[in-house]
Structure 1
Amino acid sequence: MYKLISILKYCLVMVFVPFAAAVFADVPRGILIGTVVDAVGKPVSGITVTLQPDNRWAITDAKGRFEIAGLFQGTYSLGIKAIGFDIYTTQVEVEMGKIKSISIHLIAGNEGLNEVNVKGVHGNPDNFIDMTRTVMPSKVITRQEIEMMGSRRLDEVLKEQTGLAIVNDIGSGSRAVGLQMQGFDNGYTMIMVDGQSMVGRNNGNFDLSRITVSNIERIEIIKGASSCLFGSEALAGVINIVTRKNINHPQAMAALRYGSFNMIDATLEGETPFAGKNGSVYLSGNYYRTDGFNANPYLNEGKTAPPFNSFAFQGRGRYLLTENSTFNFNGRYVTRHSENNISYGVQPTKDVLDEQDLNVSVSLNNHFNNGLKLKSQYHLARYKTAHDITDLSSGVLMPGNSFEQYVHRGELQGLKRLSDAIELTAGAGGAYELLQNTAYRGSKNMANYFVYGQVSWHPLADLLVTGGGRYDYHDMYGGKINPSLGLQYQLLDNFTVKAAVATGFKTPNFQQLYLVFTNLQTGYTVLGSEEFWREIKTLQDAGQIMSVFPSAQNIGKLRPERSVSYSAGFNYSPITRLKLDVNIFYNEMKDFINSEQVAVKTNNQQVFSYMNIAKAYTSGAEIGLSWSATKAFTISAGYQLLYAVDKGVVDSIKNGTGLYGFVYDTDINNIRPSTLKDYFGLNNRSRHMANVKFSYQHEKSGLTGTFRINYRSKYGFSEDNKANKFLDPYDTYVRSYFLLNLALQKTFYNKHLQFQLTADNLMNYRDQLMPAQQGRAIIAGLSWRF
């Protein structure tokens, strides 16, 4: 504890001292005054005008006028969200000691107060690709929404979004908390921070709980195949995390939260311009710890989610080299240490895992006089783990899995508006991936090269057409072209339709090819397809295999996965305060790589491996509804219907032959021919998911709050009778459940001080089959913005 206090004191001094002189210096401030009118010039009163990044605001009077004084010199982002009008954003330059005047004309629209569509967001300097131009279903989760939820880690934010599910991989335990989107597993969604893809997966799962949300400005979610622009990991979609930018003057923030399970979440951040505003720097540090928790209500000892502590440091730097050239630097370093003493009534052990996550990127942005924007970038990612288990009875150390992954990526990207109606984005680059893992029999490496482009075309004022394509060449699997096409048409002022089709391409990863892993605590084994037959023979010779399933004959050289995704939907606002979003999707996959149990060991533990499923699909619908009952109170709801199907199982059942033609019926204690009603679908996927959110936001008093209800219907967990390798009614399921969450915030001293109270999982729901679902958590916090 003393070491922690010393570290926090050191961080406090290093972050805040550089800003103190500038913050408290007696310098003349600027003033911004303005008038807000509608399309016909009528003043708009009672709406809030905000300035970012320092959260200054004002409310227009009866004549539409507003004034914000005491501003530092710099460029501010001005925004207006008002019922009945489109979202308005612009950049405002304020000079020291001067008055800046601005006139704002709002356009009639149908935007509500609870959600910001991606279309209202400024372009991201970290990536010229406008993710919204894919015409795929998209959403932005704003910093304000994250704060109102009271979330601490990324998985807590995403699990409450329509169409997203946070799941555990059966082969990875509670330390692999991954994201499922439209029925695709975690490995099919690209996780990006400021436009750069993240690496480091625990048995294939990217653990979202290792990312703090303390410095996140917004989260962009794109659903549907995006691998034509972003690469092979984006078959299901993209999650792009955008951190703080637009630094105009020195400021800082300190926050501390404490709650159930001895959870501590402490954040320090600061930012300042320098060199006459030609440069800027942002620094943040976060410390997070928890005692872990036990998600199994029948277990009296041990933790299903281990205790851990984590330090996260992030820095951004920007320097204007010339009027048209900017140098940018991004750096992120995260450590996490966890220890878990486990007995479960058998051999007591201590499980220790250390993780290090480093991401560094440098880029040169050039804006030429002819309108061409060009970005050259290099990105280094390194993820390292060390995992050991100690037998507490004998004191013997059992070496676990050591893992180290490097990715070197270089990319050149350009953006050019060819005319008022046509914009072109294109890029090219390559990536080299190196992995060293004790479970992979030495070092492995892969390389791929790519070129891509996207054209956005407005043939009509109400019609947007986007077309894109990407060519990938992989040194093990050759080349592949992936095109995409999207249409968006505004039929009426309050009714917009959209449709898209895109192809996807994904090569097998290191785990699926080379993994040789046995969990020393529980005894299950996971084998990559390239290693399976050699390793299974070694286990058989050692007398450790009871039986090998017939389905194991399908294990061989894995083929790349290919997919075609179709989506269509509409946005409709029958009245100003009501908004309806509907999207229907169908994703067809060929050579889908699936993890399956293929053998049983003599200790009754499973052996898993990977094989291609000839054809599979996910299909369904997503519906979102938002109603602004008053200016301060909003109700929103979302629902997803999902079908995830292996076509081979369906064909086998229809024909009454093959591996899936029969089912063991426990009611009659005998085998009978299977029917389509017996087949539930792919494992770990719920047929129904829904959420309801009640939001209250009173601007004048600074009081905000949310009450959220999340529902997930039952989903398949594992085989529970004689193995027929598909989910039937007699297998093990995770039952349906509801989660209730509450968060309240109150600001004081002109929004400088904020108090927050959060209550997650109010009904204390737990399930032994969900090791990462914590029980009831009550958390309180304070933050102060300088």
Structure 2
Amino acid sequence: MQKIYFVAVLLLISVAFANAQNAVLKGVVTQKSNQQPMPGASVYFSGTTTGTATNNKGEFQIKNVKPGEYDLVVSFSGYSRQKQRVALTEGNNVLNFTMEESKSQLGEIVVTGTGTAHHLKTAPVQTELISKKAIASTGASDFNELMMSVSPSFDFNPSTMGARMTINGLGNDFILVLIDGKRVYGDVGGNTDLNRINPDDIERIEVLKGAASLLYGSDAIAGVVNVITKKSKQKINLSNTTRIRKYATIQQSNTIDLNLGKFSWNGNFNRKSSDGWQLSPYEIDDDELVETEAMAQNKYEDKTFSHSLTFRATDKLEVYAGNSYYEKDMYRPQSVGKYGYHFTDKTFEAGAKYLLNKKDYISVDYNYDRFRYYYRYNQEYKDYQKGDKSINNDQRMNNFRFKYVNSLSDKNTLTIGADYLQEEMVSEDRLVDGKADANTFALYAQEEIKLLERLELVAGSRFVKHKEFGSAFTPKVSLLYKLDQFNFRGTYGYGFKAPTVKELYYAYEKRGTLYLGNTDLDPQKSQFSSLGIEFHNDFLTASITGYINNVDDLIAYESVDLEAGDAEDGIKRRKKHYNVEESRSQGIDFLLNARLGAGFTLGGGYSYVDAKDLTTDERLDGVAQHYGNVRLAYDRSWKNYSFNANIVGRIQDEKSYDNNTDNAKAYDIWKLTTNHRFMNLGSFIIEAQLGIDNIFDQVDDSPYGSHYGTLSPGRTFFAGFTINFAK
């Protein structure tokens, strides 16, 4: 026993001695304008995995640092990033920071366009940033509402099964959605299920439009949406956000972050539910109006649990692993259908990143996704009892990625990568052979070159090889020229997208229409060009960008002849995938953000879209020509309380369907949101949100089964409450 005590004392002495030999850095980060503490500010040593975040009192502490000189970085979204050379000695070192709010978003760091970090104003590939502050101020009930509130380029064609996202006229199949750089997989009726993304979990969103980056695969002809989620570096962070609105609509987010030495763990549980609503008590049945209980927004309930564990093995090596589970039930009245819908999604991810020096690194990532879609019966039917489920399809994905970044010089950065994507779908009733698969392998190389002091170039090519459709090279090039307060950007990109498993083999019936795959489809190819100019000073940021996206062999549906026996089976129409020989989306995007003074900010944008099937000169379905956003914000802070108010307007004209014969209505919806933040409550921060959605009570009361412009139920009051604890 004495030996045990002796060894324990030696260990304690050795630990104390080791700590005595190391340095401790601590301090406080505050806002310059009002001396408020800044919770959640990142404090880290550049080129290492060592860092922390300030607690709810603005305090930070980094222990067990070897004495020496370091580049210390302090950053917080919406504030000017600070970098300072510090010399740390043994024992305690105290260093305080005062942060100044950025005059614009252009000082924010973005990574999606090139895979390397750039300030927004110097990113060679044009990137649209949706900031943490903009996200929080909208009080959005879902991801769709969030994106339409902050960007005129986005639209969502609503339906009872989910909304189809478009960017500048091109739809869901051409848009790659990422969460923390990893693709979102699984769709319902061809629409990516975005209900899995809770706005309260989002730190920021980076958007690339068109085939502007070669880092991503064939899905990215229309653009890339990279959702970066919140992950606190505070030692302990607990947070709950609850929002309520009409029709028993409740959304809740619960988060736990633990940062204990070399280990970090993030856990999140989300739940959303609603009783749904009708927009019209009538539906269209054989060109007649009949009464119905069908809802434009079905009653639903969903929940998501996700967690991830990160281990910083050394100052250079970081490894991670995580998984998530999502489940959603969508209910329909018995008079409408014999079943509702049930969805599940399971994911797993793992990877590692090794820092070769301050700028160079190697990363390896893997993620697996399995998305399943069921009918859940609400009554006895055939061999099914109430509550039974039958599976419609089972979608599975494996994705391996490798990336190497090498700073060849101060003016030249090389990125080399590989990407392997394997997909499989199982559906006994909807696939010809009950099962189908596809895989794609890609290699890419990209160089970022500073040609002149004012001129930067990003160029490279991606080699894609598909299991069924051969190979292709997809070159990309972007130029940035800086002239005082102006930035000029130009981009050219070539895209290649093979038909999906669904487009080739899948068949299903909906409301009397039989939708069919086509094994004779050709790959889709695109040529994207854009040219833009951006102006920025301390008070105004404005940009205008023109683009052309030519897509050959775009895959769409066309009506085909009925076959014998269709009438007896309730089939009234047949639609089959086919290749549109030539199509084009072209237009102009305008964005503006102006600081008016006295706490007021005016922002917004306008998007003109001309999307056509060039072989028939008809507009593409589900696309409007004019979209607009307007935002007026007011901010005021005191020592312990801050206030924010926003008026947001979304305006768009009617959307074309069936060559302008069955259009969705134009609309404009305005929303008022107020945010209240209470600080200096010890380790707690409390936030409240109150607002009115659809102030002028605009409702699209078209009969059920019509093409809707919006599913808004009309004027709605909403409230939210957040409580956060951090140490």
Mark yes or no: TM-score above 0.5.
yes
| One-letter amino acid matched to 1:607 | R
| CA positional deviation for 1:81 | 8.2
Indicate yes or no: 2:333 matched with 1:341: yes
SS in structure 2 of the partner of residue 293 of structure 1 = coil
Indicate yes or no: 2:697 matched with 1:764: yes
Residue pairs, 1:352-751, within 5 angstroms: 352-369=340-357, 372-388=360-376, 402-437=392-427, 438-441=429-432, 442-492=434-484, 494-519=485-510, 522-530=511-519, 557-573=520-536, 576-599=538-561, 602=567, 605-650=572-617, 679=618, 681-700=619-638, 701-718=641-658, 727-728=659-660, 731-750=661-680
| CA positional deviation for 1:92 | 10
Q: 1:197 aligns with which of 183, 201, 206?
A: 183
Distance 1:50 1:453, change over 3 A: farther
| One-letter amino acid matched to 1:465 | L
| CA positional deviation for 1:296 | 3.1
Distance 1:733 1:423, change over 3 A: same
Residues in 2 aligned to 1:576 and 1:301: alpha-carbon distance in whole angstroms? 54
SS in structure 2 of the partner of residue 137 of structure 1 = coil
TM-score of the aligned structures, taking structure 2 as reference length: 0.83
SS in structure 2 of the partner of residue 629 of structure 1 = strand
Residues 698-741 of structure 1, C-alpha deviations (whole Å, 9 max, x = no match): 122411121111111111233xxxxxxxx15xx12122111111
Counterpart contact for 2:109–2:117, Cα < 8 Å = no
Residues in 2 aligned to 1:211 and 1:96: alpha-carbon distance in whole angstroms? 45
Aligned residue pair count: 653
Indicate yes or no: 2:187 matched with 1:209: no
| CA positional deviation for 1:613 | 0.9
SS in structure 2 of the partner of residue 440 of structure 1 = coil
| One-letter amino acid matched to 1:100 | V
Counterpart contact for 1:295–1:770, Cα < 8 Å = no
Distance 1:446 1:604, change over 3 A: closer
Residues in 2 aligned to 1:365 and 1:167: alpha-carbon distance in whole angstroms? 36
Question: What residue in structure 1 maps to residue 266 of structure 2?
Answer: 282
Distance 1:31 1:388, change over 3 A: closer
| CA positional deviation for 1:758 | 3.0
Residues in 2 aligned to 1:81 and 1:285: alpha-carbon distance in whole angstroms? 24
| One-letter amino acid matched to 2:621 | N
Residues 103-141 of structure 1, C-alpha deviations (whole Å, 9 max, x = no match): 8899xxx9645xx24x62265899658797884432222
Distance 1:592 1:394, change over 3 A: closer
Residues in 1 aligned to 2:113 and 2:476: alpha-carbon distance in whole angstroms? 24
| One-letter amino acid matched to 1:567 | S
Residues in 2 aligned to 1:485 and 1:251: alpha-carbon distance in whole angstroms? 42
Residues in 1 aligned to 2:628 and 2:199: alpha-carbon distance in whole angstroms? 24
Q: What do you get for the CA RMSD once the two structures are aligned? A: 3.4
Distance 1:394 1:527, change over 3 A: closer
Residue pairs, 1:71-470, within 5 angstroms: 71-74=59-62, 78-79=74-75, 87-90=80-83, 98=92, 100-101=94-95, 112-113=103-104, 116-117=105-106, 120-121=108-109, 135-168=124-157, 173-226=159-212, 228-245=214-231, 247-274=233-260, 277-296=261-280, 298=282, 301-341=293-333, 343=335, 348-369=336-357, 372-388=360-376, 402-437=392-427, 438-441=429-432, 442-470=434-462
Distance 1:128 1:383, change over 3 A: farther
| One-letter amino acid matched to 2:198 | T
Residues 404-454 of structure 1, C-alpha deviations (whole Å, 9 max, x = no match): 111112121111110000111111131221111231131111111111121
Q: Which moved more, 1:752-761 or 1:386-395?
A: 386-395
Counterpart contact for 2:271–2:303, Cα < 8 Å = yes
Residues in 1 aligned to 2:272 and 2:56: alpha-carbon distance in whole angstroms? 37
| CA positional deviation for 1:245 | 3.1
SS in structure 2 of the partner of residue 175 of structure 1 = coil
| CA positional deviation for 1:762 | 2.4
Residues 666-713 of structure 1, C-alpha deviations (whole Å, 9 max, x = no match): xxxxxxxxxxxxx5x111110111111111121224111211111111
Distance 1:784 1:92, change over 3 A: farther
Residues in 2 aligned to 1:174 and 1:252: alpha-carbon distance in whole angstroms? 35
| CA positional deviation for 1:150 | 0.4
Residues in 2 aligned to 1:771 and 1:401: alpha-carbon distance in whole angstroms? 31
| CA positional deviation for 1:633 | 0.9
Counterpart contact for 1:153–1:210, Cα < 8 Å = no
Distance 1:370 1:48, change over 3 A: closer
Distance 1:212 1:369, change over 3 A: closer
Residues 532-568 of structure 1, C-alpha deviations (whole Å, 9 max, x = no match): xxxxxxxxxxxxxxxxxxxxxxxxx100000000000
| One-letter amino acid matched to 1:612 | N
Distance 1:33 1:626, change over 3 A: closer
SS in structure 1 of the partner of residue 146 of structure 2 = helix
Residues 601-644 of structure 1, C-alpha deviations (whole Å, 9 max, x = no match): 64683322111011111100011122211152111121011111
Counterpart contact for 1:30–1:69, Cα < 8 Å = no
| One-letter amino acid matched to 1:361 | E
Residues in 2 aligned to 1:55 and 1:747: alpha-carbon distance in whole angstroms? 20
Unmatched tracts of structure 2, length 5 or more: 1-23, 44-54, 64-71, 283-290
Residues in 2 aligned to 1:134 and 1:196: alpha-carbon distance in whole angstroms? 21
TM-score of the aligned structures, taking structure 1 as reference length: 0.77
Question: What residue in structure 1 maps to residue 687 of structure 2?
Answer: 754
Distance 1:370 1:150, change over 3 A: closer
Counterpart contact for 1:499–1:567, Cα < 8 Å = yes
Higher relative strand content = 2
Residues 342-362 of structure 1, C-alpha deviations (whole Å, 9 max, x = no match): 64xxxx424321111122211
| CA positional deviation for 1:399 | 8.0
Distance 1:702 1:478, change over 3 A: same
| CA positional deviation for 1:74 | 3.7
Counterpart contact for 1:296–1:766, Cα < 8 Å = no
Question: What residue in structure 2 maps to residue 20 of structure 1?
Answer: none
Residues in 2 aligned to 1:589 and 1:559: alpha-carbon distance in whole angstroms? 12
Residues in 2 aligned to 1:491 and 1:127: alpha-carbon distance in whole angstroms? 25
Counterpart contact for 2:539–2:596, Cα < 8 Å = yes
SS in structure 1 of the partner of residue 611 of structure 2 = strand
Higher relative helix content = 1
| One-letter amino acid matched to 1:563 | S
Residues in 2 aligned to 1:351 and 1:91: alpha-carbon distance in whole angstroms? 62
Q: Which moved more, 1:363-372 or 1:755-764?
A: 363-372
Counterpart contact for 2:28–2:97, Cα < 8 Å = no
Counterpart contact for 1:164–1:179, Cα < 8 Å = no
SS in structure 1 of the partner of residue 170 of structure 2 = coil
SS in structure 2 of the partner of residue 648 of structure 1 = coil
SS in structure 2 of the partner of residue 156 of structure 1 = helix
Counterpart contact for 2:278–2:295, Cα < 8 Å = yes
SS in structure 1 of the partner of residue 712 of structure 2 = coil
Counterpart contact for 1:579–1:626, Cα < 8 Å = yes
Distance 1:256 1:95, change over 3 A: farther
Residues in 2 aligned to 1:452 and 1:214: alpha-carbon distance in whole angstroms? 34
Counterpart contact for 1:227–1:235, Cα < 8 Å = no
| One-letter amino acid matched to 1:737 | Y
Question: What residue in structure 2 maps to residue 778 of structure 1?
Answer: 717
